[in-house]
Structure 1
């Protein structure tokens, strides 16, 4: 399987509504659902959930 299809680059957007994004890779085979990670949002000055965009 080509690398680009197994581990795509995904963009994570802050759920705080500040417009902050992170870019990461995920394994589509082991995590087929949308990725949600708690990361630091510098605009909100807090750790908030970041959700995968499509």
Structure 2
């Protein structure tokens, strides 16, 4: 069975510099660039942008 190339697993890393990460999937056809989502960082105690790592 082939891996799903359209929706790969990506790691999101906090821009607050705390080292917190989230793991999610993205659609390459809709979001070909690096994904940026605003999520909760428990170390910072606030919602901060999380950027896709490669």
Give the TM-score normalised by the residue count of structure 2. 0.93
Moved more, 24-33 or 3-12: 3-12
Structure 1: runs of 5+ lacking an equivalent: none
Q: 2:15 is matched with which residue?
A: 15
Aligned-residue CA RMSD in angstroms?
Answer: 1.0
Structure 2: runs of 5+ lacking an equivalent: none
1:1-54 CA distances to partner (integer Å, 9 max, x unpaired)? x55210000000000000000000000011100000000000000000000000
Count of residues in Structure 1 that have an aligned counterpart in Structure 2 = 53
Runs (4+) of structure 1 exceeding 6 A deviation are none
Q: 2:42 is matched with which residue?
A: 42
Higher helix residue share: 1
